[in-house]
Amino acid sequence: MARRIRPLDQPGWHLQRTLGRCRALGRRHQLLHPVKNPPASCRRNPARALRSRRADLSLRTARVPSPSESPVNRLEHLSRVTFLAVAGLTLASGCGGNDTTIIAFESKLSLSDDSIDLGEVIIGESASHVLAVINAGQADLDIESIEVVDGGSDYSLELGEMTVEPGLATEVGITLIPTTLGDLSRDLLIVSDDPDEPEKLVPITALAVDIPEPDIDLSTLEVDFGAVDAATVAPFQAVEIVNVGRADLEINTISVTGSGAFSLSSTGAFTVPPEGGSNTLIVEYAPTVSTGDSATVTITSNDPDEPSLTIDLIGNGGGSANYPEALVDCPVAVQPPQVLTFDGSGSTDPAGGSLSYLWTLVDAPNGFENQLFDPDAGEDTAPVADQANLLVDLAGDYEVQLQVQNEEEVLSAPAVCRFAAVPENAIHVELVWDEVAADLDLHLAQEGFELFQTPGDVSWCNPNPEWGSSTETVDNPYLELDSEEGPGPENIYLPSPADGDYYIRVHHYTDNGANDVLATVKIWLDGELFTTRSMRIDTNRVWDVGYIRWPSGVFVPLTDEPEIHQGARRCPPE
């Protein structure tokens, strides 16, 4: 037989269903817990008993959704109706003589965080936090207001829904953009209809700070060596360069003016980490005369308040301020291989006397063996005049110094020239080795070509093959340097490579009594040093260094040990 189902939103349906359960469960209660004299009102009409206690029943509940809403809301609707029915049942059980239990529906505010820590926030920048406000009760949670107490214009809030259903949550976005320095800790105040805690305070911790900056601090501004005999070296003294700031301290230059009797452990650029990081500068004193010396060290950095600091150096009581001054014309960037000329003709002597010139190559890439030479006398003659030449055939960083001495043999502080030799080609490969007698050869091959196989293998006998268009040369490789004895270098470059893999190999061609040679290969890609690889290699063995994949610009090393070469030892005749 068909049964009509009353719609959920029809008036009176909830009460009838509740009363029906009350009657049924009431009878069951009487069977299990009989009483001699149940209340007459209950015996006559349980519904009347329910109505008579309606004044005592205080139910705070969330809105009951209509069945026209989503399936999830229908499920919530049925759950709440069932809960109401249970409440009615518990009340009906009072007809058996027990106390009546009344269930009250209430909201309950809960938070994802008990406190908020925004930490240090730089002036003008922002820090944010998202707080979840959860309704852990059975009735809707109504949020009346949310504010940062005394937050001013530094704090802003992004609010979600202000009415939260049971079991759900809303989010509050808190953002701080400080305009003043100092402690900006505040309280977030949430006002709601939570009966137990209508006002909830959430502490916010924040400190507004200035932009992180480096701050240089020197352990001393004067180094005095006291009395030191001429032609001896005094015990060194140390100056600590400390960064007490909150950002990296970049030391740009360290230079000396005055007497050349003082020397420093470092004159180059370096970085000192923040918050107490330090670097030690060693100062040495080797007087050539006993009449006294003085000099000034100047340190330049990125400290915004003290971009330049000076340290006074004193030996044997100090000396004359009229020291000769060395100056050198220095290049900035160099494309290897290239012969450079350094010009020190701008050096001066305050007394107007003649000068002698002392040139020194202080630093060069590993494996570099060339020396400064006189441009007029040739490569085997050390420079003594105001100009010096240097063949730069390896990529990397260099430092050249010049000191001048006047007729009274008073030496100037060094003038420092630093420059970088940077390859301009897409692929640049260098080879050096540690034995002068040995002859090692560098090879660069296209995929599928073996040692000395032309045209795909570049070597001493195939230095500039045709790899690309016959009308272009930028897609052809070139063996720029071929050294028949150590330590090299040998260079191969490829200005504009076609797509593909390029294999790098080293062949120990002739030992001349030097076995087990340490070979080092440097690979530069687009002007940047990509990797450095080293391997010990015996006579007539081939080291497969790896391959460059282009255009991705990566190097894939091959880890196999060098193997004996059993093939050709020169290119085939044309």
Dihedral angle at the C-alpha atoms of 349, 355, 356, 362, nearest 10 degrees?
Answer: 30
Q: How far apart are CA 48 and CA 297, in angstroms?
A: 104
Residue where the block lists tokens 């309704």: 135
Contact in structure between 543 and 477 (CB atoms under 8 Å): no
Contact in structure between 287 and 228 (CB atoms under 8 Å): yes
What pLDDT was estimated at residue 99? 53
- Indicate if the pLDDT at residue 62 is higher than 80: no
What pLDDT was estimated at residue 85? 36
- Tell me which of 193-202, 204-213, 463-472, 563-572 is least confident: 463-472
Q: How far apart are CA 554 and CA 530, in angstroms?
A: 8
CA distances to 121, 208, 249, 421 from 212, in Å? 10, 12, 11, 34
Across the chain, mean pLDDT equals 84
Of the pLDDT bands very low, low, confident and very high (cuts 50, 70, 90), residue 574 is: low
Using a pLDDT cut of 70, give the percent of the chain over it: 82
| Secondary-structure percent of the chain, ordered helix, strand, coil, rounded to 5 | 10, 40, 50
Fold entry, domain 333-421? Immunoglobulin-like (2.60.40)
CATH class as words, domain 109-209: mainly beta
Tens-digit pLDDT profile for residues 487-530: 889 999 999 999 999 999 999 999 888 888 999 999 999 999 99
What pLDDT was estimated at residue 98? 52
Tens-digit pLDDT profile for residues 142-154: 999 999 999 999 9
Q: How far apart are CA 12 and CA 255, in angstroms?
A: 96
> What's the angle, vertex CA 231, arms to CA 225 and CA 234, rounded to 5?
25
- Indicate if the pLDDT at residue 531 is higher than 60: yes
Can you point out the beta strands (E) in 434-516? 439-446, 457-458, 478-481, 490-494, 500-510
- Domain 216-315 belongs in CATH node 2.60.40.10: yes
What pLDDT was estimated at residue 83? 41
Tens-digit pLDDT profile for residues 243-262: 999 999 999 999 999 999 99
Contact in structure between 190 and 202 (CB atoms under 8 Å): yes
CA distances to 288, 379, 466, 495, 551 from 472, in Å? 60, 36, 9, 11, 19
- State which H helix or E strand residue 17 sits in: helix 13-32
**Do 333-421 and 427-564 fold alike per CATH?**
no
Question: 464-473, long-range: CB within 8 Å, 24+ apart, which pairs?
Answer: 467/498, 468/498
Using a pLDDT cut of 90, give the percent of the chain over it: 68
Q: 326-340: b or e for each residue (b if 16 or more CB lie within 10 Å)?
A: bbbebbeebebbeeb
- Indicate if the pLDDT at residue 22 is higher than 60: no
Q: How far apart are CA 57 and CA 138, in angstroms?
A: 17
Tell me the one-letter amino acid at 458. V
For 427-564, CATH number?
Answer: 2.60.60.30
The number of residues making up the chain comes to 574
Q: How far apart are CA 376 and CA 385, in angstroms?
A: 10
Of the pLDDT bands very low, low, confident and very high (cuts 50, 70, 90), residue 52 is: very low
Contact in structure between 198 and 191 (CB atoms under 8 Å): yes
What pLDDT was estimated at residue 410? 87
Comparing 218 with 13, which gets the higher pLDDT? 218
Tens-digit pLDDT profile for residues 346-388: 999 998 899 999 999 999 998 888 999 999 888 889 999 999 9
Domain boundaries of the chain, sorted by first residue: 13-96, 109-209, 216-315, 333-421, 427-564
Tens-digit pLDDT profile for residues 302-347: 999 999 999 999 999 998 768 999 999 998 879 998 999 999 999 9
Tens-digit pLDDT profile for residues 163-202: 999 999 999 999 999 999 999 999 999 999 999 999 999 9
What pLDDT was estimated at residue 468? 80
Q: How far apart are CA 551 and CA 225, in angstroms?
A: 58
Tens-digit pLDDT profile for residues 97-156: 455 556 678 999 999 999 999 999 999 999 999 999 999 999 999 999 999 999 999 999
CA 327 to chain centre: 39
What pLDDT was estimated at residue 67? 41
Q: How far apart are CA 454 and CA 457, in angstroms?
A: 6
